[in-house]
Amino acid sequence: MEKLIKDFSKHIQQAITIGKGAKFNAPKIVINNILISGLGGSGIGGTIISSLVTDEAQVPIHVTKDYAIPAFVGPNTLTIVSSYSGNTEETINAMELAQKRGSKIVCIASGGTVLEKAKKENLDHIAIPSGMPPRAAFGFSSVQLLYVLKGFGIISNKFESALENTIQLLDKNEDAIVKEATTVTEKLYGKIPAIYSAAPYEGVSIRFRQQINENAKMLCWHHALPEMNHNELVGWKQDYKNVGVVLLRNEDDNSRTQKRMEFSKQVFSECTDTIIEIFSKGKTSIEKTYYLIHLCDWVSYLLAEKKKIDATEVNIIVSLKSELANI
């Protein structure tokens, strides 16, 4: 896992090369909406990318993480199937349902049933490198989503320069990122993390929560502002010394949201002594997003190391899949 995290910027660079070489068959109809289907390490890319392109995409993008698909899916829908292993049963089921409704299908996978079906049925697809835990392949799978959206005219190619700048940003700041991640780890160790961000970056909070779950084998929770201020903030009414608050922040977060962050910090401080702020670096939303993801990935790994556990192991998920296979 350590090497996979270290190679994050290399993954992005390789993903750009793969994306530029992708070829798609033009749909015979106008695309009115988009469905991205994927779960876990494969699905988080849809959550994050759909948020990153919200200011540019002229059609709605819906992300599903289930067997079922929304009623709107039909011939005018572009369905992007994202399954790193290619064998995620929920995603395969959603893919088959979308096919039955005549949806335009594009697959992103490293192998498995999804890639086999795509090749056999002449569906558009992008093959990404295999041999990694799905969550460690985020640099590959998320970037391909951008290239699919570009390939179908949903977004322009301006994201490419942002990705190139992201690579430079991460490489330039790698030592500082690991140093900050180490400091955050020391403060979070032995705590239950409560992760908060501004709404546009909620996907990053979800990614951090999932990485802590899988890599560090810990429970935690997340929420986004301003919504959190309309409910969860009221719950901060007693001592929670076992909770470590992590605020994922950007200097250009909405000014009103920043004021809410500062007020919330005061509320947290009356209940816990552990409040950590992580500020992004970069000029664009893509740079800031991937910067925060990389730093938080390091934290999840370093927590696992401090706990002396294997960050890669996910035996309970393997057991669940085995149980389901017998039904």
Q: Taking the CA atoms of 186, 219, 264 and 296 in sequence, report the sign of the dihedral they define.
A: positive
| 230 classed as catalytic | yes
- Identify which of 304, 16, 272, 326 has the alpha carbon closest to the alpha carbon of residue 164: 16
User: CA-to-CA distance for 224 and 161, rounded, in angstroms?
Assistant: 28
- Please give the single-letter amino acid code of residue 118: A
β pairing state of 104-109 and 77-82: parallel
> Is residue 227 annotated as a catalytic residue, yes or no?
no
Contact status, residue 106 vs residue 24, Cβ threshold 8 Å: yes
Catalytic one among 3, 23, 120, 230? 230
Question: What strands, in cross-sheet order, belong to the sheet with 33-37?
Answer: 61-64, 33-37, 77-82, 104-109, 124-127
Cβ–Cβ < 8 Å for 243, 267? no
Separation of alpha carbons 284 and 146, rounded Å: 15
Q: Which of 90, 104, 202, 214 is catalytic?
A: 214
d(CA 283, CA 227): 26
What's 166-217 look like in SS3?
HHHHHHHHHHHHHHHHHHHHHHHCCCEEEEEEEHHHHHHHHHHHHHHHHHHC
Task: Give the integer Cα–Cα distance in Å for 40 and 152.
Answer: 25
Active site residue 321: yes
Q: Which amino acid is at 2?
A: E
Give catalytic residue positions. 214, 230, 321
